[in-house]
């Protein structure tokens, strides 16, 4: 990674770290879902941007993370958030293996429709099995310990805007470093070869389905971890977390930020979180405005916000080189 980009990332992390200190608790609380979505989108973009498989049912794994947190902390009484994260990651692994085994046999619209079908099946199960899942009322996600600490002196808002905010920030940084290592490893190179030309990669000895399945499972684990964060913040695991419209929400953020860039989905998650909050306070037709913004981005800026930032940086660099010494 180039030095200017690294400095920009460090500045962004420092800026996020200063939010609870300089801004009212409302804004720190608002950004907690951003951390959950950002982690989930790191995994989603491994599947979409690096492997070339667009899932329309990926919210299933966010719901799995939230419901897993409700079961582990609420039903089993294990109120340690680190244990919950490990539990939902293992749960995502168990679910993603058979689902992914069936889905990765297909590509393009067939892969998308199959993942959509599994996502809606999961939504129906959560919605209809009332005595197990609470139906449309969902399941309560209780307050949990973080790093073994109760933080009993904090109310829910103070906990979210303080200790849990920084916990999620560190978790996002660690998840990003791990994903950066994955996509820049030989494994990541294999995934890009599958995206560019799967048939040629197979001729060269790449095990296409196995690598796609591995990417699917990794993306599911990231999604479940993000879902656990969302469940902790809301205090509720709701069937609508699994609905296909929520999967579209993930696609929206990825396209908005730019799926061709590693940090693009994170930028998209931050932009949509802030934009949606502002639009909801201005107009009741905020979904229409978001749709228009997405259409404009796809038509005029297909590389998203990350692409725009890259073009601006390239323009300044070119002008700097053209200035005579």
Which distant-in-sequence residues (6+ apart) come within 8 Å of 89 by Cβ?
221, 224, 225
**Residue 257 to residue 274: CA distance in whole angstroms:** 13
Q: What confidence score (pLDDT) does residue 301 get?
A: 84
Q: Are 48 and 254 in contact (CB under 8 A)?
A: yes
Q: What confidence score (pLDDT) does residue 320 get?
A: 65
The tens-digit pLDDT sequence of the chain (325 residues) is: 667 778 888 899 999 999 999 888 888 999 999 999 999 999 999 999 999 999 999 999 999 999 999 999 988 989 999 999 999 999 999 999 999 999 999 988 999 999 999 999 999 999 888 888 888 888 999 999 998 888 888 888 889 988 999 999 999 999 999 999 999 999 999 999 999 888 888 888 888 999 999 999 999 999 999 999 999 999 999 998 998 889 988 999 999 998 888 999 999 999 999 888 888 888 888 888 888 888 888 888 888 888 888 778 777 767 666 655 5
Closest CA to 308 of 300, 1, 176, 52: 300
Q: What confidence score (pLDDT) does residue 296 get?
A: 86
Which distant-in-sequence residues (6+ apart) come within 8 Å of 166 by Cβ?
17, 20
Q: What confidence score (pLDDT) does residue 40 get?
A: 96
Closest CA to 25 of 153, 142, 164, 143: 164
> In which region does residue 135 sit, left (phi positive, over 0), alpha (psi from -120 to 50) or beta (all else)?
left
**Residue 13 to residue 273: CA distance in whole angstroms:** 17
Can you give the pTM of this predicted structure? 0.93
**Residue 250 to residue 116: CA distance in whole angstroms:** 13
Q: What confidence score (pLDDT) does residue 47 get?
A: 94
Q: What confidence score (pLDDT) does residue 128 get?
A: 86
As beta bridge partners, residue 237 has: 139
**Residue 64 to residue 121: CA distance in whole angstroms:** 13
Q: Are 102 and 216 in contact (CB under 8 A)?
A: no
Q: Whats the size of the chain, residue-wise?
A: 325
As beta bridge partners, residue 145 has: 80
């Amino acid at each position: 990674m180039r030095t200017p980009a690294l400095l920009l990332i460090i500045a962004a992390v420092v800026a996020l770290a200063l939010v609870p200190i300089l801004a009212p608790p409302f804004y720190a609380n608002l950004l907690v879902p951003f951390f959950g979505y950002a982690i989930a989108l790191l995994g989603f973009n491994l599947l979409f941007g690096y492997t070339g498989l667009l899932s329309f049912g990926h919210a299933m794994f966010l719901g799995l993370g939230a419901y897993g947190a409700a079961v582990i902390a609420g039903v089993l009484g294990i109120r340690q958030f680190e244990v919950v994260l490990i539990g939902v990651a293992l749960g995502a692994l168990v679910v993603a293996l058979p689902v992914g085994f069936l889905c990765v046999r297909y590509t393009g619209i067939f892969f998308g429709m199959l993942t959509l079908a599994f996502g809606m099946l999961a939504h129906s199960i959560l919605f209809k099995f009332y005595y197990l899942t609470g139906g449309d009322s969902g399941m309560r996600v209780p307050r949990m310990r973080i790093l073994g600490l109760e933080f009993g002196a904090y109310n829910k808002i103070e906990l979210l805007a303080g200790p849990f905010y920084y916990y999620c920030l560190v978790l996002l940084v660690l998840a990003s470093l791990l994903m950066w290592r994955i996509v820049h490893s030989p494994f990541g190179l294999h995934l890009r070869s599958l995206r560019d030309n799967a048939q040629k990669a197979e001729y060269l000895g790449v095990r296409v389905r196995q690598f796609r399945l591995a990417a699917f499972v990794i993306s599911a684990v990231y999604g479940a971890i993000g879902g656990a964060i969302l469940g902790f913040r809301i205090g509720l695991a709701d069937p609508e977390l699994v609905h296909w419209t929520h999967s579209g929400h993930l696609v929206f953020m990825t396209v908005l930020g730019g799926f061709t860039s590693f940090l693009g989905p994170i930028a998209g998650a931050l932009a949509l979180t802030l934009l949606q909050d502002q639009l909801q306070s201005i107009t009741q037709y905020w979904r229409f405005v978001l749709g228009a913004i997405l259409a404009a981005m796809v038509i005029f800026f297909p590389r998203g916000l990350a692409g725009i930032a890259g073009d601006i940086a390239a323009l300044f660099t070119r002008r700097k080189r053209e200035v005579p010494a």
